[in-house]
Every structure is written in C-alpha cells, then in structure tokens.
Amino acid sequence: MEKVKVAVAGVGNSIAYLLKTLSLKEEPKGIWHQKVGGMEVKDIEIVAAFDIDERKIGKPLNEAALTEPNVVNLNDIIVGKDVMVQRGILLDEISYFARDKLRVTKKETPKNISKVLEDSGAEVLLLTISSGLQKTSEAYAEQALNAGVSLINATPSTIASNLAIVKKFEEAKLIVVGDDLMSQFGGTALHRGILNFMKLRGISAVKSYQVDVGGGLESLNTMDEGLKELKKNIKTRAIVSEVGDSYEVVTGTTDYVEFMKNRRVSHFWFEAEGLLGKKYTIDLLLTTEDAPNATNILLDVIRAVKHSMKKGEYGAVDEICNFGFKKTLNQESIELAVKEFEKKYCF
C-alpha cells in the first residue's frame, strides 16, 4: 500500500501520541476511522521533524517527543527512531508565560528547511508549533511551498483561512488545510454538539459559556492576553456557527495549573428555551487529555490530504477543513462536517 510521507514541525505532546499510535503492531484501540482515503493508520510514515528547543534538536524523534517541556508519560515508541530532529524556524517572540519552559538560543529561519523537506520525500508538513507564532507559521508555509509540500496547520495562526496564502497553494497545486485543530471530543466539539442537538430537538439556545483549566505548554501559552483573545474569538465563531449570530456565548481558557500536565477540565453552562419560553439549563464538567484527544483528528486529516492530493485537488479543501479545524473559510455545522468528510473519504 502506498504511504503518505509526513514531516512534523513542533515536536510536542500531540506528536508523542501520534508516534505512539503509529508504533503499535496491532490496530490501535479507539481508532475513529479505520480507513480514510483507502489508507490505514499504518500507511502514515514520519520522515522529518523540526523543533526550536535545544533539548530536542539533534535527538531521534521518538526520544525528542518524550523530552521536556513535553509532559506525556509513554513508552515503547519505535516510530521516529531513524528521524533526527532538525532546528526549526522561530521568527516571533515566545510568550512571556512560556519563555521559562523552553530552551531556545536562536531566533531565525534555518536555510535548509525546504531542502530537508525535499530530501526526506515529505508530501505533507504537519504544523504543530506553539500558539501565537504567526510569522513563524507563515515562514513554514513558505518553506512548504518552496519544497512542493502540502500543509496541515494545527495551530491558531491564520494560514488556511488566509485567502492570499491559499491562493499561493492553489497556484502551486498543493493543499493547505486548517486552522486551529479541533480535538475529537474537546471543549469546542462538545459545545457545538450540544447546541446542534438542541436545534435538532426544536429547543432555542439562548446563551452559554465555557471556561477551561489545563496544564502543559499550550495552556500556559494561552495565559498571554493577546493569544487568549485570539483563541476566544476562534472558538466563539466556531460555536456561533451552530446557532447564529444572535446567540450569546463566552468561551476561552481561563487558567493554567502545572500539576494537571496534559489534562484539561472544561466547565460548560447552557440556557435554552422551549414551549412558552420555559427555561432549560445544563451545567456540565468535562475532563480530557489534550494530546490523545487530537490524535484521531490528525490521523484522519493526514490521510484525507493524501487522498485529495491523489485526486488532483488543491487549495483549502472544505471537507477536511470543516471536519478537523475550528477556523475555516466556509464553516459548517459539526454534524454536516462529519457527514461530508465520511462521505468523501471513508470507504
């Protein structure tokens, strides 16, 4: 079976879980879609990796994925042992809150990024760098274009929802999808799902809020007020897409607790109206782990991109963007997005 060759930029907790899943000899438990575009999970091959933390650069990828500041506790990761982590791009300032967690000595764009991509045979670059690095994300997009490689943007940076960038990928006949990965069963997905179900049952949603507390570098990053506002706006737009602009919603990470590590606790409150304006309220608490919650989506998106490449598609493919990401050019309801993705790719 033909493989899909992937390079990763940003060797964080989600990449550790991705590698662990790919390392299993048997079919991984809990896989959402066994086949996407006719490909199984085992058809994904990691061929290159980039990071900015000095503790990860020069290490085999399977070791770097378990190196601080990563906080996951995994063993027997085999995939990535022959892939050395290269120095990645950094053009932005690291957020004040995350600065002490990272060991970064250079702020630059290494000259060999596109060459590493070309030499590795990568077809897709998976961007999972820290949030808040817009210039850096754009630089990776440029390097992917130079190397003739499609791009998956899992970060909140505006890449696949930037029409100018999308046009460049269209002209190069490459795919770009994103932005801001939506976990399989995270806060945004659950929030949207509850609102969708209310609408399905003829109940009028009035207002809701969602507040998150988490550990890990990504939660710490979100303590930056600018990034917090960006994430809040992205999540709000995604949630409002289910019920319309008149809906009142407040959402966004509110605090960081180091000992929670990769776990996240999300608190939801909903108010809705039924017959004669009678009120319904929901008070809900969800506990998840960020990295494995992202893995099923990454596995599906990677394989879907490969399938669309084989079909001659390029640009921002709506069925992939709406299925896997919070900020898209043509946002659809979460229910319709899954149906359209499965109709096109799951056979």
User: How confident is the prediction along the chain (347 residues), in pLDDT tens digits per residue?
Assistant: 689 999 999 999 999 999 999 999 888 899 999 999 999 999 999 999 999 999 999 999 999 999 999 999 899 999 999 999 999 999 999 988 888 999 998 887 888 999 999 999 999 999 999 999 999 999 999 999 999 999 999 999 999 999 999 999 999 999 999 999 999 999 999 999 999 999 999 999 999 999 999 998 888 888 888 888 888 899 999 999 998 888 899 887 778 999 999 999 999 999 999 999 999 999 999 999 999 999 999 999 999 999 999 999 999 999 999 999 999 999 999 999 999 999 999 98
55 Cβ neighbours under 8 A, 6+ residues apart: 64, 67, 68, 103
Decide: 329 and 189 in contact? Cβ < 8 Å: no
Q: Residue 14: CA atoms inside 13 Å, Cβ hemisphere, count?
A: 24
Q: Return d(Cα 318, Cα 339) in angstroms, integer.
A: 12
Specify the pLDDT at position 43. 97
Specify the pLDDT at position 1. 67
Q: Return d(Cα 220, Cα 251) in angstroms, integer.
A: 17
Fold classified for 4-182+292-345 = Rossmann fold (3.40.50)
List beta partners, residue 264. 214, 288
Specify the pLDDT at position 271. 97
Q: Return d(Cα 22, Cα 58) in angstroms, integer.
A: 22
Decide: 2 and 44 in contact? Cβ < 8 Å: no
How many angstroms separate the first and last alpha carbons of the chain?
A: 15
> What does the CA dihedral 91, 173, 4, 40 come to, rounded to 10 degrees?
120
> Residues of 105-122 as b/e, b for ≥16 C-beta within 10 angstroms?
eeeebbeebbebbeebeb
Residue 201: how many other CB atoms lie within 10 Å: 9
- The architecture (CATH level 2) of 187-289 comes to 2-Layer Sandwich (3.30)
Burial of 278 (0-12, 13-18, 19+ CB in 10 A): exposed
> In 3D, which of 126, 105, 137, 115 has the Cα closest to residue 49?
126
What are the angstrom distances between the C-alpha of 198 and each of 98, 140, 188, 274, 281?
Answer: 39, 40, 16, 10, 11
SS (HEC) of 269-309: EEEEECHHHCEEEEEEEEEEEHHHHHHHHHHHHHHHHHHHH
Specify the pLDDT at position 145. 98
Which residue reads 């190397």 in tokens? Answer: 147
> In 3D, which of 82, 15, 83, 21 has the Cα closest to residue 48?
83
Q: Residue 224: CA atoms inside 13 Å, Cβ hemisphere, count?
A: 19
Specify the pLDDT at position 257. 94
> In 3D, which of 180, 184, 195 has the Cα closest to residue 268?
195
Specify the pLDDT at position 195. 96
Pairing type for strands 176-177 and 150-153 reads parallel
184 Cβ neighbours under 8 A, 6+ residues apart: 32, 293, 294, 295, 296, 297
Domain ranges of the chain: 4-182+292-345, 187-289
Phi, psi of 320, deg, nearest 5 = -80, -45
Q: Return d(Cα 153, Cα 189) in angstroms, integer.
A: 18
Phi, psi of 309, deg, nearest 5 = -60, -45
List beta partners, residue 44. 4
> What does the CA dihedral 69, 41, 3, 319 come to, rounded to 10 degrees?
-90
